[in-house]
A and B are shown apart, each in its own frame.
Chain A
Amino acid sequence: AQTVTQSQPEMSVQEAETVTLSCTYDTSESDYYLFWYKQPPSRQMILVIRQEAYKQQNATENRFSVNFQKAAKSFSLKISDSQLGDAAMYFCAYRTDGGNQFYFGTGTSLTVIP
């Protein structure tokens, strides 16, 4: 069974600083996709970044980047130059290649301190 674990229920960061959110997953598959979603207090989930397991290069989207360690089954999100608008719940998610279902972690609540 696929499981996604986020061991940090809450994190905080000073504005303009960098923060890293952790995620580990368990799978026996070799091909899959990993995602980070952001859920602001309005509750509309937004895709932040996506990583294909077959790609060795870590994905980057502006201030957001990932550290994908396939052997360790680790997928962390780094937010650089944190902004007040980054404050939200962040969910790590997993999908098998060929599967339809997303498996989500329990989330990390990020607070940005002005």
Chain B
Amino acid sequence: EAGVAQSPRYKIIEKRQSVAFWCNPISGHATLYWYQQILGQGPKLLIQFQNNGVVDDSQLPKDRFSAERLKGVDSTLKIQPAKLEDSAVYLCASSPLGFYNEQFFGPGTRLTVL
């Protein structure tokens, strides 16, 4: 079974630039999560989708972050414009519908904002 795929693995941008991350969850997983993991901290949930609908985006900085999951499969997370404090690893995870204890994580995208 293929795992959660993310790209790119690494990204370096200047502040005020835009960046987008892509996630492909495990086939058949209805629930998809985006986490932000700042160095030295645990992952923090940014947004959760169930199929193509948003379940929880209470911790997403909506003035600069946006996410979508068209057709309930792949998802993209965008930051526009980026700030220095956005430097982090962005993790994508997925789980089968209703099985919230079974989160499978991707390798993450490491973002550095200069």
Contacts and interface: CB of A to CB of B under 8 A. Distances in A.
Given A45-B105, A47-B103, A93 B42 contact: yes
B101 A44 contact: no
Given A43-B107, A44-B105, A95-B100, A106 B89 contact: no
A108 B93 CA distance: 21
Interface residues of A, number: 21
Interface in B37-72: 40-45, 48, 55-56
Task: For chain B, give the interface size range.
Answer: 20 to 34
> Which of A43, A93, A106 is the most central at the interface, judged by chain B CB atoms within 10 Å of its CB?
A43
Contacts of B45: 101-102
A46 B102 CA distance: 10
Contact of B107 (A42, A99, A101, A107): A42
A64 interface: no
A62 interface: no
Interface string B16-46: 0000000000000001000000001111110
B3 A44 contact: yes
Contacts of A99: 100
Contacts of B101: 33, 35, 50, 95
Contacts of B105: 44-46
